Amino acid sequence: MTEQTTPDDITATVLASFGRSPDERLGTVMRSLTAHLHAFVKDVALTEEEWRAAIGVLTATGHITTGKRQEWILWSDALGVSMLVDALANRAPASGAGDGGGPAGAATESTVQGPFYVPGAPRRGYGERIDEMPAGEPLWVHGTIRSLDGRPLPGAELDVWQNGDNELYAVQDPEAPETHLRGRFTAREDGSYGFITVRPTPYPIPHDGPVGRMLSATGRHPWRPAHIHVIVRAPGHRPVTTHVFDRDSEHIDSDAVFAVKPSLLRELVARSADDPERPPGITGAWWSLTSDFVLVPVGPAG
Ligand SMILES: [Fe+2]
């Protein structure tokens, strides 16, 4: 009598089907995907009804995705996969030795880029503002860009983007100029940079689609704590894509995309209109935020 085919037989057959992949890496990835996916289906004893529901969710994800709405990345973000891929690609090196004339510091940690980055932000000068229409309370952001050994990095580029107090990035806001709340700054001879912006506010990730339905069905919220996005680049160094977070922001302990790292938290300091450090270009009460960035050299000289 022929033995019955078991669930494990099915898994073994599918695994074997990838045994001759001409692309070795692809074969490895597909076998691992099969092994974990089959294990998941067995672990939860997936029902036929749940399988049909899952196909419906994937179909809806494809249908809602456009050039401006990327629901697949939202799934990756909301399931922590974006952070995991970033963490594997950017493992932190040891701290610098401090022999470059400046203070030693740990390399700035990376975090997700998110869906709102648009390349080609306008170049702006030291101390200039990035808000091009009313968008919130004035905020002075400044600091120094250094190499891992403490040496300042004149000419390093700081590419910044953020949302305003309407919770929107310029790319989402039909009322905003496309260069609003975006800018590229060049570090001065001593590695310093500075710009005027507005205090960022928490905002929800798009939650009117399949990801939003998953969040509400599982008792999660779509909010991200207030942050400013930056990419820091300098010749001879690995660029870092990261955020600075308002450490006192609502949702700082429950970011919907898991992007908060303790080393990225910064204090926003309340300043009065008559504060002697008030930068030209700000009137009235303001906030300040100090954030240094430390880049890792690439190549054998590092
Ligand atoms: Fe963001």
Distance 168 CA to ligand 1 centre (A): 9
In the reported structure, the alpha carbon of residue 159 is separated from the centroid of ligand 1 by a whole-number distance in angstroms of: 14
Distance 207 CA to ligand 1 centre (A): 15
pLDDT in tens, 72-115: 999 999 999 999 999 999 886 656 555 565 555 699 999 999 98
**How close is the Cα of 258 to the center of ligand 1, in Å?**
12
pLDDT at 302 (0 to 100) = 43
The closest of 64, 109, 72, 75 to 222, measured between CA atoms, is 75
Q: Please give the distance, rounded to the nearest whole angstrom, from the Cα atom of residue 229 to the centre of ligand 1.
A: 6
Ligand 1 centroid–CA 231 distance in Å is: 13
Residues 194-227 pLDDT 10s: 999 999 999 999 999 999 999 999 999 999 999 9
The pLDDT of 115-141, averaged and rounded, is 96
Say yes or no to pLDDT of 69 above 90: no
The answer to whether 198 and 139 have CB atoms below 8 angstroms apart is yes
Measured in Å, residue 189 CA sits from the centre of ligand 1 at 30
Per-residue buried b or exposed e for 267-276, using 16+ beta carbons within 10 Å of the residue's own CB = ebeebeeeee
List of long-range contacts for 88-93, beta carbons under 8 Å, 24+ apart? 90/238, 90/240, 93/148, 93/296
The overall average pLDDT reported for the chain is 94
Pairing of strands 293-297, 265-266: unpaired
pLDDT at 91: 80
Residue 179 contacts residue 122 (beta carbons within 8 Å) = yes
CA 82 to ligand 1 centroid distance, Å: 14
CA 205 / ligand 1 centre spacing (Å): 9
Burial (0-12, 13-18, 19+ Cβ within 10 Å), 235: exposed
- Ligand 1 center to 4 CA (angstroms): 53
- The half-sphere exposure of 134 on its side-chain side, counting CA atoms within 13 A, is 0
